[in-house]
Structure formats: structure tokens, C-alpha cells
Chain A
Amino acid sequence: DGGITQSPKYLFRKEGQNVTLSCEQNLNHDAMYWYRQDPGQGLRLIYYSQIVNDFQKGDIAEGYSVSREKKESFPLTVTSAQKNPTAFYLCASSIWEGPSYEQYFGPGTRLTVT
């Protein structure tokens, strides 16, 4: 089955620790995205990547880092510099060019930092 997997589903960390969220896709999409979802705020873009070894900051990149070493993988690290890391994190992918596209989403990872 083609799709996007995110692991783990739930993640708990102590304040001050970095944590890495996994995102893998087998849709052969060039572009991948990380969003943060908070109640009443919709989805906000953290980082996106159009191609391997290239990525761009989104609207709320501070305190986060990413890498894109393989087409199918786009891990997100939530660093200790992120002031309010507790949230639901969604990974997505899409084709990058073309007149018609949509973003496909993974099941999400709920991160709780205490």
C-alpha cells in the first residue's frame, strides 16, 4: 500500500531534550512537508523540501531542524530551543510540479513535553 508513515504515534519527552520524529513515504513524491497542528490554529508549516538535500523554512521553523538525505524520508527534530513543543505533528508529501496536485498526509505524531 502506498502512503505515509509516521512513528511513533505518541511521544513523551522531558523538557530540554531533543526529539526526532520520523516520516517515510513510498508514493515517490518529490516534495515533503512538516506541519504543526494546535487546537484552533489549523496547520502551520514548519519546513518543506522540494528535492533531496534541499529544504526550506516554513512559517514557524524556529526550534526545529530537518534533513532530507533520501527521497522517501524527511525526519523532523524538535530541539530544546522550541519554546512550546507539545503539539500534534503532521507530515505530508506531494508532487512538486504540475497543474494538479494534492498533499497526502500521514497519521501524525502527538508529542508531549513535560
Chain B
Amino acid sequence: AQSVSQHNHHVILSEAASLELGCNYSYGGTVNLFWYVQYPGQHLQLLLKYFSGDPLVKGIKGFEAEFIKSKFSFNLRKPSVQWSDTAEYFCAVGYSGGYNKLIFGAGTRLAVHP
């Protein structure tokens, strides 16, 4: 079965630290890749997405992600986190033949301390 793995379940950082959250997916051909974020008390919202082209994707709020096809990975990065980045982050994958159906990872809960 197709699956998405997020290796870090809880991450604690100080402000200004760099962030990298891992996401790996099982092989399944062509994929569309997403990172969603859920801030406390808010809707799940899209952070960034990759469909094709440049594997380095820039999203909102200074986040970026890199698609490495050979590693089946789509890691999320931010050079310097802020307290307001405290949230839960979800990686999601749409597989060919079912693009609009997404498979989500278990999520990574990030806490940023001032």
C-alpha cells in the first residue's frame, strides 16, 4: 500500500534555529507533493506544493521544500524559525491515477520557544 512517512513526530526548537522536517513516500510512479500546516485553532492550510519542474519549491512564510526523486523524499525547510511557526505540519502525496486523493503522513508537531 502507498504510504507517507514523517520521521519526526515532535520537534522543539529555539527561535532563529534552522528547521528541516523529513517526508518520505513509498514508490508509486508520478506523484504530486504537498506540505500542509495546522496552526493552533486554525484550519489546515497549504504551505507549498510540487507538481513538476524545479524540484526546489518555495512556499509561504519563508518555507521551502526539495523534491529528491531518487530518495522519494520531499523535506520541508526553513532557515530561521519564529515562535509563530509553532504548529503541526503534514506531508501529503497524490499518486498517479488518484491525484486528487491524498495520502497524509502522521504529522510533525513543532514547538518554537522564544
Q: Which of A15-23, A69-77, A95-103 contacts B (4 or more CB under 8 A)?
A: A95-103
Contact between B43 and A106, CB atoms less than 8 A apart: yes
B11 at the interface (CB under 8 A from A): no
How far apart are B20's CB and chain A's nearest CB, in angstroms? 19
Given contacts A40-B9, A40-B106, A107-B43, 9 further A-B contacts (CB under 8 A): A35-B104, A42-B6, A42-B90, A43-B44, A50-B100, A58-B101, A90-B44, A102-B49, A107-B42
Q: How many residues of A contact B (CB 8 A)?
A: 26
> Which residues 14-60 of A have a CB within 8 angstroms of B?
31, 33, 35, 40-45, 48, 50, 58
Interface string of B37-67 (1 = CB under 8 A from A): 0000011111001011000000000000000
Alpha-carbon gap, A35 to B105, bound state (A): 13
Residues in chain B within 8 A of chain A (CB atoms): 4, 6, 9, 32, 34, 36, 42-46, 49, 51-52, 90, 92, 99-107
Q: From the candidates B46, B101, B104, name the one contacting A102 in the complex (CB within 8 A).
A: B46
A41–B105 Cα distance when bound, in Å, is: 7
Q: Known contacts A102-B49, A105-B45, A107-B43: does B90 contact A43 (CB below 8 Å)? A: yes
CB pair A42 B51 closer than 8 Å: no
